[in-house]
Structures are given as C-alpha cells and as structure tokens.
Amino acid sequence: MEGNRDFSDSVDKCFIMYDPLLKIEKLLFLLDNGVKRTGILNEACRLIKLGDNATLLRMVRTNYQLDDDDDDDDDDDDMWLRRANARFSRRKINLESGLDVTSWGKPIRREERRKLFSMLGELHYDYGDLNEAFRIFHEELESCTMETQVIESHLKLILVSLKRGKLEDVLQWVDKVRERGGGSMESIVAAKVTCACALGNMGLQRYKTAAREFLDVSCGLGDTFNEVILPRDVAIYGGLCALATYDRSEIKQGVLANNHAWRVLGFAPEIRKIITEFHKGHYTYCLNYLQSIKPNLLLDIYAFKHVERLFDQIREKALLEYAQPFESLNLDTMAREFNSSVSGLEKELVVLITDNKLQALVDSDKKVLYRGSFQ
C-alpha cells in the first residue's frame, strides 16, 4: 500500500534527527523484536563508541550474538572499554574530590556544589549509570539558588526518569516543575515538559490525557528534545490517542477546529488525514490505512505496547458511529465496510451489546442488526 511506504520513508528520514543514544535504543529495540536488517548491531556499536556509554556496550556484548570469529572487533571493544572506564574514573575522582570539603579547607559555595553535582550527574548519565545519575541530579536540585537552575534540574530528573521507565516518577516531576514554573517557563522548556507528561500518560494507558498533552506541545519543539521525541512522533501519538478516545464533538472542537492541534498534526499529515476521514464517516479508508502502518508502529519504542489497544478502541468507535444513524443494518453490507466476515462482525457486535455500549439486537438468521432497547 502506497501509504505504508510513505509512512516507512518518513520513519527512516526522522531517524537521522534523533540523539545518538535514542538511535541506539531504537536499533536495539528492532533487534529485540526480530528485525534482522544487516548491520543493525554494528551500527549500534559504532554509535555507542562515539560517546562514553561503557555500560551500554558491555550490555550489548553480553546480550547480543556478536561475530565470534571477528577477534579484531573484540580487541577493539576491549580497548575502547578500558579507555572509556579510565576516562570515567579520572573525571569521577576529580569531580568527587571537588565535593570533598577537606580538599577545599573551607565550606564549598552552594553554586560551586551545584555545578559539580551537575557535571558528575552528566558524567554518570553519559556512562550509562542512570540510577546514580538520578541520585546526583537530585543533589544538584538541592543546591540550586536560582529558579532557572531549579527548572533545569527538574528537566534532568524528568529525562532520567523517562530513560529508566519510571513513568509515575516522570509525572510527579512534571507536576513539580509546572507548579514552580507556572506560565513563565520558556516555550521550549514547556514543550519538553508537555512531551514528558504526554509520554508518561500514554505509557500508563491514560490515552485521553495523553492526547490532550501531545496536541498541546509547542510547534517550536523541533529537535530540542531529540533524546526523547521529535515533532512527528508527537503528532502520531497524539493523533492516535485522540482518535481512540475523543468523541465526535471532541474531535471537531479539539482537533479539526483547534488551530494549534491542527498544526501539531501537520508533522504527520497522514495521521491528520485519517482523523479527518474518520470524522467524515469514511471508516474503510481509515481502518485500512491504520492496518497498513501497524507493522511500523509495532516497532516503535514508545507506541508498540499500545497499538493493539488503541486500534481496538478506534475500531470499536467506528462500529458504534457507523451503526448510530440506523434503525436496522444489513450485516453483509456492514461486514464489507469493516473488512470482516459476517460471523466475525457478529461477535464484535455481541461484545458491544453485552458491554452496554450498543443498544441493539442481532438477528443471526436474517443477518440484520436492529438498534434500540430490547428486553
């Protein structure tokens, strides 16, 4: 399907814009999900060696099947690890000595402590020790003297919480930074916080809240948060969450007639088109397109856990909206509209009726759905 190729091409074009660490995470995620593209593991290792994340390289060597015959690569990896560990140890000792009161002979100024904690936290983050980075960034927060420093420290704690997969922590830090910053945060800072809030809510299956947050992200986000997300990702996740959870009036007011949300969705125009066509009642087109991009979404590091649930909710909403205007419906006609067998469609409708989402009765003999309340 042409749309699927376009979607895949867009995914590939966006990849080059991600931060190297997120690229590595996405490459390893592909391997974990059975994608056997040539060179994925080599590319992941190459990207790791551009930085200092010795923790990640050790994990890759332990968990993935590297070419046992390539002794030169093993020697290169060992040498790189020794050098990375040595660099880390030297810098760690220097920074920790700076935090040692006895080495100063007098109390350390609070601002100097903050800077040292900031550098030490970033050192551990780059090395791949996220738990220690989180602890140290929290120490940095305690040493902040200016509001801008407090906001910056909160952003670091949010980032590390996202990387650790601690979604409840993400939302707690989002609440704290919003309480501190209010409406005075810089637009890019606010956009990052909104992205984190949206990802946290999506990860916890709070899709309607996630939709609102995604569609509220500033269009000026650009690649400023590319260690986590890009504007196209925001549009895809926000559009799918909205389509799955908004009712018709919310789609109209919160998406189609909302200039800001409409611009956000412009970063993924195919998703915007799906929402528009769905609102027009063109369910066959929408459901077919969603199925065509499903393989890509199942390989998305954030979306993969939610694709089935979101798609089920979208299909359920389509069935309910399709049936709503009619007193009776021919199941053969409806089955063709929804790319289903009549027996499969009957099962879907019975579930909706049983769950009290659809007031109707299915006549299996006549293959007709009758809408209304039946005793």
- Look up the domain containing 351 and give its range: 326-375
In a domain, 64, yes or no: no
In a domain, 374, yes or no: yes
Q: What is the pLDDT of residues 34-60, one digit of tens each?
A: 887 668 888 899 999 999 999 999 999
Which residues sit opposite 361 in a β-bridge? 370
How many CB atoms within 10 Å of residue 12? 10
- Evaluate whether 279 touches 347 at the Cβ level (below 8 Å): no
In a domain, 359, yes or no: yes
In a domain, 330, yes or no: yes
Quote the number of domains for the chain: 1
- Evaluate whether 153 touches 117 at the Cβ level (below 8 Å): no
From the number of C-beta atoms within 10 Å of its C-beta (0-12, 13-18, 19+), residue 67 rates as exposed
In a domain, 202, yes or no: no
Q: What is the pLDDT of residues 342-354, one digit of tens each?
A: 999 999 999 999 9
In a domain, 357, yes or no: yes
pLDDT of residue 36: 73
In a domain, 354, yes or no: yes
The rounded distance, in Å, linking the Cα atoms of 255 and 259 is 8
What secondary structure letter does DSSP report for 1?
Answer: -
In this structure, what CATH number is given to the domain that contains residue 371?
A: 1.10.10.10
Rg (CA), the chain: 25
With a cut of 70, which residues of the chain have pLDDT below it?
1-13, 37-38, 65-74, 101-107, 182-184, 373-375
**CA distance between the termini of the chain:** 45
Contacts of 7 by beta carbon, 8 Å cutoff, 6+ apart? 270, 292, 293, 296
Residue type, 138: H
Q: What is the pLDDT of residues 257-286, one digit of tens each?
A: 999 999 999 999 999 999 999 999 999 999
pLDDT of residue 101: 63
In a domain, 370, yes or no: yes
- pTM (predicted TM-score): 0.92
The rounded distance, in Å, linking the Cα atoms of 159 and 193 is 10
The rounded distance, in Å, linking the Cα atoms of 367 and 343 is 9
